[in-house]
Structure 1
Amino acid sequence: MIALIQASTYFQVVSLAAMADAGLLPPADRRILVLANGSQMPEITTALPDYPGFAALAARFDGVVDLADLLWPRRCGQFNPRGEELALFEKLLRHRWNLGSEQVSLVLESIQVNPAQALARIFFDAPISVHSDGLMSYGPTRNKLPLHMLQRLRETIHIDLVPGLEPMLLLEHPVQRKVLKLESLAAIFSELAAAVDPASLNLPQDGALVVGQYLGSLGILDTAKELELHQGMLLAARDAGARSVVFKPHPSSGPTAALQLRARAESLGLDFQILQTDLLAETVITLMKPLAVISCFSTALLSAKNMLGVPVIAVGTSELLQELSPYQNSNRIPLSIVHAQLVQGVSSPAASDSVDELTPLLRAVAYCMQYQNLPELRDEAAEFLSVNYLRFEQHFKRRRIAALELPPSWAHPRRSGRVIPGAAFGRKIQRRVLRLSSRSLAKVARTLQETSTRVSR
């Protein structure tokens, strides 16, 4: 058995190495790491094999292949072979990756999109495991998966970023859940940090680390609002007592935003350093031991807090919960987790001294996001909202709960004293069915009448 293990980001390579060390990857005679660069601009970003420490991480596997090199100039996300091409691509990949005729298993990420789906279609009889490195695994599956994939799903492997929280990815399908404990991941980051000379980064003492997010490219915020969000992070750093700020921009962001932030930091009396490095935020945190890590809803906030024990500050989550559109945006669950835990003080499910409030909150949000795929969560969502809406109303949009006819009814937006017409999906469908039934009955009545007339004649 040969396991093809797909990774599209450097963080995934790190997490897969930790999964290999922890014995969580499916058994195989050979494990081949399949690089599938998921960058929107791979031509101007660092190639995965060029990241610091990559060779040591890749040594956990029996081989490394690069799907991006094979597909160039097309990107990995554009890999969508036609049905009649699948057998041809299987022969090509088996030849180029030296797979021979051996049975293949797949360990994929982002199972709802290509290239993961393309690989699952090409190796049509391979059992499938799904790995996840971030907060999105706690959210619901975005799209319905085809039957030929559902029948082969075996398990998910996720990082325990929120201790004790059960993922909702593939909740609608019976799969085994494997959990990578944070101690195993922390060991990998310690290994990576040990290979770096701290002096080469010139990191300040008693400084705050601001982790930038590239929300403009995703259409979540415009450029002005994104800059305002990052400026809010500088204010949070000053209020936390930091005298200097290290800004780690998102790899896909341009230099303009960072230069504008420098001017703002200087006006606040803060020393400002732009950290241009391919090191992951967790490696920088391990080396820097900052006064605080500040971001919006970056995964680094929870890995810093729960894995590295560093104070964290979330900025702008309340506003972004309402800005995020459409409601089913995959970033909603990560955003809700960060806001609930770091702003509202909701404990992780594993906390022994408190009631688990996070799980029912996220299940209610998940139902509102994907009500068609998760109808079994409706009663839970209704019960949660009827009791907890006032406390957690920022996580829900009033139009959404009105459209789904969820409580509390007094929170539904109204126009001229009436609920917005056409908002309730169920009633709309019911009216259509009734109209069709009325037309059908009228047609039957006319036919019977014409038949009766002919018989009487």
Structure 2
Amino acid sequence: MRHTTQIFQVSTLYGAATLAAALDAGLFGPRGGARRVLLVSNNAAVPETALRLDEMRGYAPTAARFDAVVSWNEAISPHHPSSWGPRGHDTVLWQRAFRRAWGIGELDLIELAVESIQVNPARALAAIFSESTIDVYADGLMSYGPTRERLPLAMGSRVRRLLHLDLLPGLRPLLLSEFEVEPVTVPDAAFREVLDAVAADAADDPRLAPVLAEAPTAVLLGQYLAALGILSAEAEEDLHVRMLTGAARAGHRSVVLKPHPTAPVSYSAALSKAAADAGVRLTVLDAPLLAETLYQHCRPELVVGCFSTAMVTASAYYGVPVARVGTGTVLDRLTPYANSNRVPLALIDHLVPDLERDGTPALVGPAPETLGPLVRAIGFCMQPRTYPELRESAADLLRAGGPAVRYVPDLRLAELSLPGSRPRLRAELQIRRAKRLLRRAATRRPA
């Protein structure tokens, strides 16, 4: 008798919580209808020195929904999950090896649920289990942006659903829309129940007690922009200082910095000095906890960040007003233009008040009608070959001016010959292209 095994690939606790909520909501069928395997991947630059998923508080009750847990890092050791993929003619051998290692019958059906299908390890899994159906789940704001890389037709056509949190009600995800993949929302109630269970598991964490004792009213969300090469370490340090200064100016006298779980440990004297100068009590929650766990126990009055998804979850699931700092700085430095952080950054920049410009912190409500066209215009400019049908609507939006102009710089406008580009810049680009073509022709000419 053929059985079905569902493999759920995950690299973050937030992603695991999203999958857990989808399971609880019945989006993967009834419990017992298939064997469920949680495949954990640590994608940090140096996995051996990074926080493991099973070290996060709340992991145990989340993982209890699965019948088995296996490590992708161990399975492909010594290779790195982000860089390793099978050679084309080796996929059958790898599938046979993984079926044996993970206790999957030779004839059992495989269903995959993966994150970031465009890159490894999801892409490697899809290639190895080439007969499987694929569900893609998105654990944050990136679901609203375009597919990062063009997928082979044979792979994209296997994707059945895009599971995502309804963080911005009314905004339809652009991810995988080129394959007409149906977006399916993970119910808010199911996700909140999972977050509550994660928070309850962390209630006795000794590192949480000192933070609660300070009764912070504002949470500063650190990100890992320096580790990704988006900002320098000094610029990221300055970003945190700006967050603290903004919170102090808004009247908060006790704040907590919540570093990103996968960010390298970095806490500078500059932040302590800024707190002292502003007369603010600063605590750092350097513990393996989700930001949402902090919201549950701390009940803050303000959450400040740059463009973290945790800003929107604070608003959507905990009713906490949010404010942004530094989105303009990151917009100026984010490269290449197709960087997958661009749409999340634009969404926060467009929807969340700027704390440094005296913006009043606010809740993020449903998406305005203008947001969908704006996201599609940015998506076209990021991936014009994938979404050529969006060119005209993007051109119309740019021609009308307004917010779209802020998110598409002159160089990108010129590269795509879109309205608003400067004729001189377009001419310079055409000359450069012509010179490149001439150089290529010269190198190929026989001696």
Please give the secondary structure, in 1, of the residue aligned with 2:85.
coil
1:423 aligned to which of 429, 432, 444: 429
Please give the secondary structure, in 1, of the residue aligned with 2:119.
coil
Distance 1:155 1:424 in 2: 41
Could you tell me which amino acid in structure 1 is paired with residue 383 of structure 2? Q
Structure with greater Cα Rg: 1
Could you tell me which amino acid in structure 1 is paired with residue 234 of structure 2? A
Matches within 5 A, 1:279-428: 279-343=289-353, 350=366, 356-387=369-400, 389-408=401-420, 412-413=421-422, 418-423=424-429
Could you tell me which amino acid in structure 2 is paired with residue 34 of structure 1? L
Maintained 8 Å contact 1:212/1:249: yes
Maintained 8 Å contact 2:58/2:202: no
Deviation of 1:274 (Å): 1.1
Could you tell me which amino acid in structure 2 is paired with residue 421 of structure 1? A
Partner of 2:48: 43
Partner of 2:104: 99
Partner of 1:10: 13
1:209 aligned to which of 205, 210, 219: 219
Distance 1:395 1:17 in 2: 35
Partner of 1:126: 132
Maintained 8 Å contact 1:24/1:157: no
- 1:424–1:405 distance in 2 versus 1, CA, 3 Å: farther
- 1:270–1:347 distance in 2 versus 1, CA, 3 Å: closer
State the TM-score, normalized to the length of structure 1.
0.86
Maintained 8 Å contact 2:245/2:274: no
Distance 2:363 2:184 in 1: 22
1:260 aligned to which of 262, 270, 277: 270
Maintained 8 Å contact 2:258/2:285: yes
Per-residue displacement from partner, 1:228-248 (whole Å, max 9, x unpaired)?
Answer: 111110111102211011111
Maintained 8 Å contact 2:377/2:404: no
Q: Are 1:143 and 2:156 an aligned pair?
A: no
Deviation of 1:199 (Å): 8.0
Could you tell me which amino acid in structure 1 is paired with residue 35 of structure 2? R
- 1:303–1:61 distance in 2 versus 1, CA, 3 Å: same
Matches within 5 A, 1:51-130: 51-101=56-106, 102-130=108-136
Could you tell me which amino acid in structure 2 is paired with residue 367 of structure 1? F
- 1:406–1:279 distance in 2 versus 1, CA, 3 Å: same
Please give the secondary structure, in 2, of the residue aligned with 1:343.
coil
Distance 2:419 2:215 in 1: 50
- 1:357–1:263 distance in 2 versus 1, CA, 3 Å: same
Maintained 8 Å contact 2:202/2:289: no
Partner of 1:440: none
Maintained 8 Å contact 2:314/2:320: yes
- 1:26–1:137 distance in 2 versus 1, CA, 3 Å: farther
Per-residue displacement from partner, 1:236-275 (whole Å, max 9, x unpaired)?
Answer: 1102211011111223444444443112211211111111
- 1:225–1:50 distance in 2 versus 1, CA, 3 Å: closer
Deviation of 1:198 (Å): 6.3
- 1:192–1:253 distance in 2 versus 1, CA, 3 Å: closer
Could you tell me which amino acid in structure 2 is paired with residue 61 of structure 1? F
Distance 2:133 2:263 in 1: 37
Q: Which has the higher contact order (CA 8 A, sep 6+)?
A: 2
The CA RMSD measured in Å over matched residues stands at 2.5
State the TM-score, normalized to the length of structure 2.
0.88
Maintained 8 Å contact 2:50/2:262: yes
- 1:176–1:254 distance in 2 versus 1, CA, 3 Å: closer
- 1:277–1:256 distance in 2 versus 1, CA, 3 Å: closer
**Structure 1 residues not aligned, in runs of 5+:** 437-457
Per-residue displacement from partner, 1:147-168 (whole Å, max 9, x unpaired)?
Answer: 3212312111011111221111
Distance 1:367 1:254 in 2: 33
Distance 2:75 2:412 in 1: 44
Maintained 8 Å contact 1:321/1:394: no
Could you tell me which amino acid in structure 1 is paired with residue 74 of structure 2? D
Distance 1:161 1:239 in 2: 29
Q: Which stretch of structure 1 is more off in the superposition, 65-74 or 370-379?
A: 65-74
Q: Are 1:24 and 2:36 an aligned pair?
A: no
Distance 1:313 1:100 in 2: 51
Per-residue displacement from partner, 1:288-342 (whole Å, max 9, x unpaired)?
Answer: 1112111100111001011211011110112221221111111000000101110
- 1:219–1:199 distance in 2 versus 1, CA, 3 Å: closer
Could you tell me which amino acid in structure 2 is paired with residue 403 of structure 1? E
Per-residue displacement from partner, 1:347-368 (whole Å, max 9, x unpaired)?
Answer: 97846xxx50111111111111
Maintained 8 Å contact 1:32/1:62: yes
Maintained 8 Å contact 1:318/1:394: no
Please give the secondary structure, in 2, of the residue aligned with 1:74.
coil
Deviation of 1:419 (Å): 4.2
- 1:199–1:224 distance in 2 versus 1, CA, 3 Å: closer
Distance 1:191 1:347 in 2: 24
Deviation of 1:423 (Å): 3.1
Distance 1:373 1:67 in 2: 30
Deviation of 1:173 (Å): 0.6
Please give the secondary structure, in 1, of the residue aligned with 2:345.
helix
Q: How many residues align?
A: 422
Partner of 2:229: 219
- 1:76–1:256 distance in 2 versus 1, CA, 3 Å: closer
Distance 2:267 2:85 in 1: 35
- 1:349–1:249 distance in 2 versus 1, CA, 3 Å: closer
Could you tell me which amino acid in structure 2 is paired with residue 13 of structure 1? A
Please give the secondary structure, in 2, of the residue aligned with 1:166.
coil
- 1:120–1:361 distance in 2 versus 1, CA, 3 Å: same
